[in-house]
Chain A
Amino acid sequence: MGKSCMTTPLVEVENAQLHYKVGSAASAMFGLPSVVKAVDGISFRLNAGESVGLLGESGCGKTSMGRLLVRLEEVTGGSARFDGAEIADLKGSDLRRFRSRSQMIFQNPFDAVNPRYSIKKTMAEPLGNAGIPKSEWHDRIVTALELVGLAEPAQYLDRFAHQLSGGQLQRVVMARALILEPDFVVADEPVSMLDVSVRAGVLNVFRDVRDKLGLTAIYISHDLALVRYVCERTIVMYLGRIMEDGPTEDIVREPLHPYTQALVAAVPTPKADQSHDPLPIGRGAPDPRNPPSGCVFRDRCPKAFDRCASDVALPQKVGTRTVACHLFDGAV
């Protein structure tokens, strides 16, 4: 399978759903919630080379969506396609090829690497799985480590995870994800566990590598500033649904969805004299077990009106973006 042609999107998600059963038959009888809808009707397309941020707070389903795209989970409804093929249906050699083309960068580097393995062994695992001849391993590993900015990579080969700093180890995690030269990478909050002065370095590496290899990337984060630094397009999620989808700059400068407006207003900046106005959002936290009827955001939305309680807000095109909000019903 070579690289896809430009007209077919590389990743195509249509009304994807990931529902978990919780509780027992008995608790369902008592009216307690029996399903957690981690992802509930997500649709978007990614063209080759695009970088999209999945932005949202905890419980919004962004991590679940990322896991669906690398087949750590399988959709319970709807479809998620990679290069035209349904991800959840892949088998055998097709599945193996998918695994070498689609990779994940994990959040906690110290959890993502087997503490008993040397760095060399960690990096060799994907090579072994893909059937790369052993003679090529050393060079490939060294190249990958250089790619992520680890100077003199040979010194890391025999070290173990606990001997590296968080920043170094996260680069190794990235190198491992890139060693098979994938087309598509899902980065799950890759810098949230790192020290702040180290984050910049790792983020820069991510950007450079993505540009150099022409990767298609999904960057999962709850931090709008980080998403803005890395992605030209952002999808804002809330309780398993998409609230807004469009160019990052537009979304930051002029957020359309009330939730996005609250998110943008909430981000603190490293400048004194920030606005301390109260956020335009109700208190309370999203509960994936018990989402409100109609629009999932309506119980915290300052602009909710009667339609919001009865009808689910479907994504609609508004200019360069897609917004799921009844305020834009009938908008061009």
Chain B
Amino acid sequence: MPEASASRGLVGRIFGPLHLPVGDNFAVAGLIIYAVFAFTAIFAPVLAPYDPTEILYSAEYNLASDLMPGEEGHVLGTTSLGRDIFSQILFGARSALLVGLTAAFMVSVIGTIIGLLSGYFGGWVDTVLMRLADVAFGIPFLPFVIVISAFLQPSIWNTVIAMALVLWRDTARVIRSQVLTLRSRGYVEAARVSGSSDMSIIVRHIAPNIVPLSLLYGSIAIGWAILTEASISFLGFGDPDSISWGFMLQDAFASQALSRQAYHWFIPPGIAIILVVSAGFFISRGYENLLFPKLGR
């Protein structure tokens, strides 16, 4: 592992062994953003003043719609339907992180396993799996997700499944390359000659060198997953029962919030998406520095 910057210290000592990229300032910023949003997502019911789907009424049984920030105790105002925007933002973190992390996990795991099998065993296993990857490369991602959502019910899990079915392709290719390189290293051959089984070689010699690469691609996948989910929801194919940031954008768009200058409605979810997606890329940058320290010089 290369020398870390000043971010090493307490943070470094706790998180270092977990392969978290604490050496890069951007990566640490990304981790902090994630931590904040994760906290928000977990404690949303406690932090949010209202239920995000609840249609609220002000005094005199009037719909509390289109309120500006600050009015009647709504920090970010309300939507045209009288729902509290601030609560929606907080709960939106839930679906974003849920989708992001689950999809990233599945993409990472599926991609790594396929890349590992392909690279290590070669032969027909490699041929079959890589042709499968070629098919996945050929599938246009967003339209595919839309089609899946159309066939099955539009729900968050179907979005995740659609992503998992297609997005493993990059990870698989890269992991496969790395495994091919590792396989010809002297110590792997020495292990074969001393009688180590394939499984033992994979677990002991190959996997430890693969994990950082998986984490790198996984963290990139989080960003893509959240963006995808936001896009799907914005296009109207998302889960109508969950309030996500994409849904908020779609809601705002449908209610012509821009022309009404209701900035408080669509800017917060937009910023939230930008922050979380950027955080994902910052973290991936940290992994890149971990894996390829010479690039920085």
Contact = CB atoms under 8 A, between A and B. Distances in A.
Does A touch B (CB under 8 Å) in the complex?
yes
Interface of A: 70-72, 95-96, 99-100, 103-104, 106-108, 111-114, 116-117, 122, 125-126, 129-130, 173, 176, 180
Contacts of A122: 187
A129 B185 contact: no
Contact of A176 (B194, B195, B196, B204): B194
B205 A103 contact: no
A193 to B, nearest CB: 11
Contact of B190 (A71, A95, A112, A116): A112
Given A111-B185, A112-B186, A125 B191 contact: yes
Nearest to B192: A72
Interface of B: 185-187, 189-197, 200, 204-205, 208
Given A114-B205, A116-B208, A106 B196 contact: no
A108 B187 CA distance: 10
17 contacts: A100-B195, A103-B193, A104-B190, A106-B186, A106-B190, A107-B186, A108-B186, A112-B186, A112-B190, A113-B186, A114-B205, A116-B208, A125-B191, A126-B194, A129-B194, A129-B200, A180-B194
A287 to B, nearest CB: 23
A108 to B, nearest CB: 6
Given A114-B205, A116-B208, A104 B187 contact: no
A164 B192 CA distance: 24
B194 A125 contact: yes
Contacts of A103: 193-194
Contacts of A130: 195
Closest 4 CB pairs of A and B: A99-B195, A111-B186, A112-B186, A126-B194
B187 A114 contact: yes
B186 A176 contact: no
B185 A99 contact: no
A211 B168 CA distance: 55
Contacts of B186: 106-108, 111-113
A106 B185 CA distance: 11
Contacts of B190: 104, 106, 112-113, 173, 176
A106 B195 contact: no
A280 B160 CA distance: 71
A180 B190 CA distance: 14
B163 to A, nearest CB: 33
Nearest to A122: B187
Contacts of A112: 186-187, 189-190
B193 A99 contact: yes
Given A72-B189, A117-B187, 11 more contacts: A104-B189, A104-B193, A106-B186, A106-B189, A108-B186, A113-B187, A114-B204, A125-B194, A126-B194, A129-B196, A173-B190
Contacts of A71: 193
A181 to B, nearest CB: 13
A62 B192 CA distance: 20
A126 B200 CA distance: 12
Contacts of A180: 194
A96 B195 contact: yes
Contacts of B195: 95-96, 99-100, 126, 129-130
A126 B208 CA distance: 19
B126 to A, nearest CB: 15
B204 to A, nearest CB: 8
A91 to B, nearest CB: 13
Given A111-B185, A112-B187, A113-B187, A72 B193 contact: yes
B132 to A, nearest CB: 21
B199 to A, nearest CB: 12
